[in-house]
Structure 1
Amino acid sequence: MAQHQDAPGPAEAPYYHRVVTVPNVISVLRLTLIVPAVLAVLEIDERPVRALVLVALFSLTDWVDGVLARALNQRSRVGEVMDPVADRLGTVAIAVAASVVGLFPWWVLIVIAGVDLVVGVAGILRRSLGTLRVTRAGKAKTALLMAGTVLVLAGPAWNSTEVTEVGRIMVQVAAVLHLAAGVQYFRQALRR
Structure 2
Amino acid sequence: MSRARGERPDWATLPNAVTLVRFVLLLPICVMLVRHGPQTLSVVLLLVWALTDWVDGMLARALGQTSRTGQIIDPIADRLGLVGIVLSLALAGLLPWSALVFIFVVDLVVTILSSRSALQGSLGVSRIGKVRTALLMTSVFLLACAGAWAPSLVPGVLVLLWIGVALHVVAGAGYVVSARARRGGVEEAAGGPAWRR
Instruction: Tell me if structure 1 keeps the 8 A contact 2:71–2:124.
Output: no
CA-CA distance at 1:149 after TM superposition: 0.6
* Aligned partner (choices 25, 29, 32) of residue 24 of structure 2: 32
Secondary structure of the residue aligned to 2:117 is coil
Unpaired stretches in structure 1, ≥5 consecutive residues: 1-14
* Aligned partner (choices 124, 137, 161) of residue 146 of structure 1: 137
TM-score w.r.t. the length of structure 1 is 0.85
Instruction: Tell me if structure 2 keeps the 8 A contact 1:21–1:74.
Output: yes
Match of 2:187 in 1: none
Unpaired stretches in structure 2, ≥5 consecutive residues: 1-6, 184-197
Secondary structure of the residue aligned to 1:128 is helix
Distance 1:74 1:118 in 2: 30
Structure 1 residue 179 and structure 2 residue 169: aligned?
yes
Match of 1:102 in 2: 93
Instruction: Tell me if structure 2 keeps the 8 A contact 1:37–1:94.
Output: yes
TM-score w.r.t. the length of structure 2 is 0.83
Match of 2:154 in 1: 164
Aligned-residue RMSD, C-alpha: 1.6
Query: What percent identity do the matched residue pairs reach?
Result: 38
Distance 2:157 2:137 in 1: 9
Instruction: Tell me if structure 2 keeps the 8 A contact 1:151–1:163.
Output: no
CA-CA distance at 1:161 after TM superposition: 2.3
The total of aligned residue pairs comes to 174
Secondary structure of the residue aligned to 1:74 is coil
* Aligned partner (choices 46, 50, 54) of residue 59 of structure 1: 50
- Structure of higher RCO (CA pairs closer than 8 Å, 6+ residues apart): 1
Is the helix fraction higher in 1 or 2? 2
